């Protein structure tokens, strides 16, 4: 175990990303051709059977999502790629887009064929202008080659709001409105962009598609954890020797990622915690390191996979300080639309600062837990629901660090 397996990064370093012929020479666009030779239902069935689940964080069955959009009756449907990679410490989507943009376009084109869409958007993070250049060149080349057929793709840029990674906020942003989430249902496959059926998938999800179509659902379903098959790209940051990225099957454990692939902690310091999935991810203690990086296994220990960011802390780190900074991040990034997130992120930041300053009491910790609990199931969107996770998981696993700072 603990071997890399590159599916979405299959062409990394092997092709010239700015030359479509280089992609085609590696077998690119054969999957699209094959898909177009299959009937739509059969194609969607294949994706469903592969068990591929969304790599953006929510982990919804991809083929099932496509089925909803396929079934929706409408004169216009859209395919949207969520490339608003805003999680601190995450750059997996950038890796794919910079090094193999055509596989993303091919994945989107297969989706477009499956659901009956002829227009696609890539919503790219505002801090990635150089990636936008790559994407635009790739789209122009694909159009010249005629490989996309009548499927048109346009790149739209975000303006730096973290919340626009939430699919409905992203849709609002493409529509030209303030980037704020919509309530669901209706879900985008029923009413999305301009109220039309829309598939929003992450870059990594789309990059899996050509391979699944090419090699078949059974091949894919056999890789990694059965309930979350395939691979996952992780980007390692923090107190770890190999600050780089890896693509591994989903039955790999966290311990393997940290100690084998990541090369362990510098200076042989002791492990304290690892946060997986980005800023809203749970802090995982030593005791849970043998959890496989699959969706349901992670959920069982109160964690998520999220974006695949792996942030390691050694025992010299002050957890309360780290979480206080995270609380400030969410206070800043809450869009302000729903009351529990707007008020809750502000109150959480306020209470964390109080505790961090040595002025907090046991009641403040209890209040933090209450706010977090309420936010986690009352907020309008995933941002607010996940924002308290770092607070709640550290109070649970590292209570002593909090107690040490209380009055």
Partner 1 sequence: MVNITINGMNVSVPEGSTILQAAQQVGIHIPTLCYHPDQSIKANCRVCVCEVEGNRLLQAACSAPVFEGMVVRTNTPKVLEARKTIVEMILANHPQDCLNCIRNGACELQTLAEELIIRDNPFELMIRGYDKDTSTPSLFRDPDKCVLCRRCIEACSVIQSVNALGIEGRGNNAMVVPSLGKDLIDSPCVMCGQCIHACPVGAIGEIENIDQFLAAVADPETIVVTQIAPAVRLAIAEEIGMATGELPMDVFVNGLRQIGFDYVLHTNFTADLTILEEGNELLKRVKEGGTLPMFTSCSPGWINFCETFYPDLLDNLSTCKSPQQMFGALVKTYWAEKMNISPAKIFSVSIMPCVAKKFEADRPEMRDSGYKDVDIVLTTREIGRLFRQSGIDFNKLPPSNFDSWMGAYTGAAVIFGASGGVMEAALRTVYEVVTGNTLEDVNFTTIRGFDGIKEATVDLNGLEVNVAIAHSLSNARKLMDQVRAGESPYHFIEIMACPGGCIGGGGQPITKRNQKRIERIDAIYLEDEGLSIRKSHENPEVKVLYDEFLHEPLGHKSHELLHTHYHDKKKKYL
Compute the least distance from the CB of residue 330 to partner 1, in Å: 8
Please list, residue by residue across 302-324, b when 16 or more beta carbons sit within 10 angstroms of its beta carbon and e when fewer do.
Answer: ebbbbbbbbbbbbeebebbebbb
Minimum Å distance from CB 238 to partner 1?
26
85, 239, 288, 333: which one binds partner 1 (CB under 8 A)? 333
- Which of positions 170-209 make contact with partner 1 (CB under 8 A)? 178, 183, 185
- By CB under 8 A, is residue 353 in contact with partner 1? no
Q: Is 357 in the site for partner 1 (CB under 8 A)?
A: no
8 Å CB contact between 341 and 375: yes
- Given the structure tokens 């942030």, which residue do they identify? 311
Cβ distance to partner 1 smaller for residue 170 or 207: 170
Q: What is the dihedral of CA 48, 49, 55, 59, to 10 degrees?
A: 70
Region of 103-111, 213-221, 305-313, 328-336 interacting with partner 1 (CB under 8 A): 328-336
* CB of residue 200 to partner 1, shortest distance in Å: 19
Q: Strand 228-229 vs strand 152-157: parallel, antiparallel, or unpaired?
A: unpaired
Q: Which of residues 132-161 bind partner 1 (CB under 8 A)?
A: 161
Residue of 199, 323, 335, 365 interacting with partner 1 (CB under 8 A): 335
Q: Between residues 186 and 216, which has the closer beta carbon with respect to partner 1?
A: 186
Among 343, 369, 405, 406, binds partner 1 (CB under 8 A): 343
DSSP class of 270: P
Nearer to partner 1, 27 or 336 (CB): 336
Contact with partner 1 (CB under 8 A): which of 149, 160, 266, 336? 336
CB of 47 to partner 1, least distance (A): 26
**How would DSSP label each residue in 199-216?**
EEEEHHHHHHHHHHHHH-
Among 146, 268, 377, 400, binds partner 1 (CB under 8 A): 377
Instruction: State yes or no: residue 378 binds partner 1 (CB under 8 A).
Output: yes
Q: Which is nearer to partner 1, 286 or 350 (CB)?
A: 350
Among 103, 198, 291, 334, binds partner 1 (CB under 8 A): 334
Q: 41: how many CB neighbours lie within 10 A of its CB?
A: 12
Task: Find the shortest distance in angstroms from Cβ 338 to partner 1.
Answer: 5
Cβ neighbors of 303 (< 8 A, separation 6 or more) are 276, 277, 281, 282, 284, 288, 291, 393
Rounded least distance, CB 379 to partner 1, Å = 7
User: Is the distance from CB of 199 to CB of 120 less than 8 angstroms?
Assistant: no
**CA end-to-end distance (rounded Å), the chain:** 47
Question: Using CB under 8 A, which of 41, 215, 370, 396 touches partner 1?
Answer: 370
The kind and range of the H/E element at 356 are: helix 339-356
Q: If residue 284 lies in a helix (H) or strand (E), which one and from where to where?
A: strand 283-284
4 three-class SS: coil
With beta carbons less than 8 A apart as the criterion, state whether 74 and 115 touch: no
Rounded CA-CA distance 108/122 in Å is: 9
Tell me if 300 contacts partner 1 by CB under 8 A: no
Q: CA 214 from chain center: how many Å?
A: 24
278: Cα within 13 Å, side-chain hemisphere:
24
Whichever of 249 and 277 has its CB closer to partner 1, that residue is: 277
For residues 1 and 374, which CB has a smaller minimum distance to partner 1 in the complex?
A: 374
Which of 167, 331, 356, 401 contacts partner 1 by CB under 8 A?
331
| 374 sits near partner 1 (criterion: CB under 8 A) | yes
Q: Which residues in this chain contact partner 1 in the complex, by CB under 8 A?
A: 161, 178, 183, 185, 331-340, 342-347, 350, 363, 367, 370-371, 373-374, 377-380, 385
């Amino acid at each position: 175990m603990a071997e890399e397996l590159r599916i979405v990064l299959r062409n990394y370093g092997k092709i010239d990303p700015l030359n479509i012929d280089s992609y085609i020479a590696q077998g690119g666009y054969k999957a699209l051709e094959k898909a177009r030779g299959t009937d739509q239902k059969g194609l969607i069935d294949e994706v469903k059977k592969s068990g591929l689940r969304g790599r953006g964080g929510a982990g919804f069955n991809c083929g099932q999502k496509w089925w909803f959009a396929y079934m929706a009756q409408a004169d216009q449907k859209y395919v949207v790629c969520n490339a608003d990679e805003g999680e601190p410490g995450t750059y997996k989507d950038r890796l794919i887009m910079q090094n193999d943009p055509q596989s993303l376009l091919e994945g989107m084109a297969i989706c477009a064929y499956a659901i009956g869409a002829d227009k696609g958007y890539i919503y790219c993070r505002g801090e990635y202008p150089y990636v936008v250049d790559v994407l635009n060149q790739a789209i122009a080349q694909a159009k010249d080659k005629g490989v996309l057929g009548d499927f048109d793709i346009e790149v739209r840029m975000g303006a730096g709001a973290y919340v626009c990674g939430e699919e409905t906020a992203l849709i609002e942003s493409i529509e030209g409105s303030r980037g704020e989430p919509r309530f669901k249902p209706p879900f985008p496959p029923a009413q999305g962009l301009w109220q039309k059926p829309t598939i929003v998938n992450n870059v990594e999800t789309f990059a899996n598609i050509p391979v699944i179509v090419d090699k078949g659902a059974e091949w894919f379903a056999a890789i990694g954890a059965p309930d979350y098959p395939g691979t996952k790209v992780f980007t390692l940051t923090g107190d770890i020797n190999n600050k780089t990225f890896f693509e591994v099957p989903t039955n790999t454990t966290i311990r393997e990622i940290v100690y084998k692939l990541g090369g362990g902690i510098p200076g042989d310091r002791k492990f304290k915690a690892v946060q997986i999935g980005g800023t809203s991810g749970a802090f995982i203690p030593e005791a849970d390191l043998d959890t496989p990086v699959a969706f349901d296994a992670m959920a069982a220990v109160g964690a998520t996979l999220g974006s695949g960011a792996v942030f390691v802390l050694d025992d010299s780190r002050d957890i309360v300080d780290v979480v206080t900074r995270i609380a400030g991040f969410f206070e800043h990034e809450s869009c302000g639309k729903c009351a529990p997130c707007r008020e809750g992120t502000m109150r959480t930041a306020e209470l964390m600062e109080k505790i961090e300053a040595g002025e907090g009491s046991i009641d403040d910790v209890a209040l933090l837990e209450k706010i977090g609990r309420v936010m986690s199931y009352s907020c309008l969107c995933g941002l607010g629901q996940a924002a308290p996770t770092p607070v709640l998981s550290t109070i649970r696993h590292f209570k002593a660090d909090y107690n040490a700072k209380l009055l």
